[in-house]
Amino acid sequence: MEITLIRHGRSAQMENHRMTSMEYKKWVDTYNHLGIAEGERGPEDSIKKGASSLILLTSDLKRSIESARTLNPSAKVQSDPLFREMELPLPDIHLTGVRLRPNTWTFLLRILWICGYSHGCESYIQAKHRAKRASLKLTSFSKEHQHAVLIGHGFFNLYIAKELQKSGWNGKRRTGSKHWNAVTYVK
């Protein structure tokens, strides 16, 4: 049995200027509603993994679904919110004068989230439990179809991989954070 985790392609949301916390909230909404950048194409190893499956699993976010269709246009795409990226707590106050790039906001909020701040989103503990459920669903799918291919999200794929390894799947310890990165686990 085999499970492949692939990170989606680059988002069509390309803005990278410094922004306030309120502008960052809007940026995240746009990021979550847009698909992948025009002309995105995965590397050969990801395309081969995508082409090897008649059914591709994805989150219900557009960038994940479009990435699956790019990798294998003839495959059936099966979307599930279970595979969504781990959410970030978005600041609900306007921090006057603080302007950061989206990656910096993401990094800071991710650290706060891991430390327990989860205003407006699932907690870190809840997200880890969801990763466990996702790994069980992928395992079940792999048992039924001999392999499973998930086109998901960087941070969540990392936690799914940890759960797979805990339950005896062999593969790379880290999933990598680059777009289109593919990592396969075997049991």
Residue 40 phi, psi dihedral angles, 5° rounding: -60, 140
The pLDDT of residue 107: 94
Q: How high is the pLDDT of residue 13?
A: 80
User: Could you tell me where the DSSP H helices lie in the chain?
Assistant: 21-33, 44-51, 62-71, 102-114, 124-145, 154-166
122 close to 87: Cβ distance less than 8 angstroms: yes
Query: What CATH number corresponds to the domain at position 144?
Result: 3.40.50.1240
User: What pLDDT does 177 receive?
Assistant: 82
Q: pLDDT by residue (tens digit) across 65-96? A: 999 999 999 999 999 999 999 999 987 777 77
Check residue 90 and give its pLDDT.
80
Average pLDDT in the chain: 93
Q: Residue 85: which domain range?
A: 2-186
Tokens of 64: 């994940």
pLDDT tens track for 2-38: 999 999 999 988 888 999 988 998 999 999 999 999 9
% of residues, the chain, pLDDT over 90: 76
DSSP run (H or E) holding 182: strand 182-186
- Cα separation, 112 vs 135, in Å, equals 25
Total domains in the chain come to 1
pTM score: 0.92
